[in-house]
Each structure stands twice: as C-alpha cells, then as structure tokens.
C-alpha cells in the first residue's frame, strides 16, 4: 500500500509549520502546493509544487494527485469535497475535519454566505486565527494520521 501523503493548499495556509512538524514525526511526504514560490524547510520529505496562477489551479493539482487515505490541509470547501470523493481526508486549518457527513452542510453554508455577501447584507468574515486554533489543528492532524496508520495495519 502507498504511504500516506499530505497535501497543503498552501497559498493562504496558516498552519504549514505545524503540518511539517506532524509529517516529520511520522516520516510522511508533504506536498506544498501554491501559485507562487514560498520557502519550505530543507527536507527530502517536503516537496514544493508551484502551479500556474489562476482560480482553482492548485486545487485541481491536489484533487488529481490525492489518493485514498492521503490528507489535504485546506479551508477550501469545494476542494475538501473533491478530496473526500477521491477517498482522501480533508482538514481545515482550524482543526475541523471535513467528513462525508459534514461536507454537504459546509457546501450549503458556503453558498448561503456567498449569496448574503453579494447582496451586501453580510460583510463579516470568520474570527481571526488564534493560538487555540493552532493547537486544535495540531491535535486533529496527529489523530487523523494515527487513525489512518491503524486502518492500514
């Protein structure tokens, strides 16, 4: 069976360092997918993948390369849905896993919020990313990796 790989939707990801830390603990290859050059740690397990600029180009690359059991780190709900359909797992930067049970409501909520923003009725956004989110993410990613490793035994 192919080893677990992690794919980071990296352009706006606030938890890249935390992902590298967990991936290193388990010796997992990590793909850092972005539209522009970004610094990554010097490690044979971390691969920078720069894709063309444009909407959803990084998402398309991740969706085409993710395999069952792999993990995508993304806040992009449509990408999370594609990852789940491919048999992968998706985790938000705040540590919330996207699941078959939750993705439908997340897609619906996203559509509703887009509609409200387009009418000017809702101008707020999510609360700022904080230390608790970072901690929750670390724990959730570690648990996700452990669960997948157990499943593969």
Tell me the pLDDT band of 121, cut-offs 50, 70 and 90: low
Using alpha carbons only, give the angle 134, 136, 141 rounded to the nearest 5 degrees: 95
Q: What pLDDT score was predicted for residue 119? A: 72
Token pair, residue 15, equals 């938890």
Beginning with the edge strand found earlier in the chain, give each strand of the sheet holding 29-34 in spatial order: 46-50, 29-34, 5-9, 71-73, 89-91, 97-98
* Burial of 5 per CB tally in 10 Å (0-12, 13-18, 19+): buried
Q: What pLDDT score was predicted for residue 101? A: 74
Q: CB of 23 within 8 A of CB of 30?
A: yes
Reduced DSSP (H G I as helix, E B as strand, rest coil) percent helix, strand, coil of the chain, to 5: 45, 15, 40
Asked whether the predicted pLDDT for residue 131 surpasses 80, the reply is yes
33 has which bridge partners?
Answer: 9, 49
Could you say which of 1.20.144, 3.40.1000, 1.10.287, 3.40.50 is the CATH number of the domain covering 5-152?
A: 3.40.50
pLDDT digits (tens, 9 = 90+) for 29-81: 999 999 999 999 999 999 999 999 988 999 999 999 999 999 999 999 999 99
Token pair, residue 145, equals 């990796």
DSSP letters, 90-119, are EE-TTSPEE-TTTHHHHHHHHHHHHHHHHH
DSSP letters, 115-148, are HHHHHTS----PPPP-HHHHHHHHHHHHHHHHHH
Q: Stretch 101-111: mean pLDDT, rounded?
A: 63
Cα–Cα dist 131/14, whole Å: 11
Q: What pLDDT score was predicted for residue 129? A: 86
Asked whether the predicted pLDDT for residue 107 surpasses 70, the reply is no
């Amino acid at each position: 069976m192919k080893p677990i790989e992690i794919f980071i939707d990296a352009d706006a990801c606030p938890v890249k360092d935390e992902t590298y830390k967990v991936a290193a603990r388990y010796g997992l290859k990590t793909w850092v997918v972005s539209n522009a050059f970004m610094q990554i740690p010097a490690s044979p397990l971390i691969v920078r993948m720069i894709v063309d600029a444009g909407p959803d180009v990084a998402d398309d690359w991740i969706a085409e390369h993710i395999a069952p059991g792999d993990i995508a780190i993304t806040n992009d709900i449509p990408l999370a849905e594609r990852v789940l359909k491919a048999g992968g797992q998706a985790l938000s930067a705040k540590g919330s896993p996207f699941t078959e049970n939750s993705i439908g409501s997340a897609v619906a909520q996203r559509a509703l919020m887009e509609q409200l923003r387009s009418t000017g009725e809702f101008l707020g956004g999510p609360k700022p990313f904080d230390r608790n989110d970072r901690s929750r993410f670390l724990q959730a990613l570690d648990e996700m990796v452990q669960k997948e490793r157990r499943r593969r035994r």
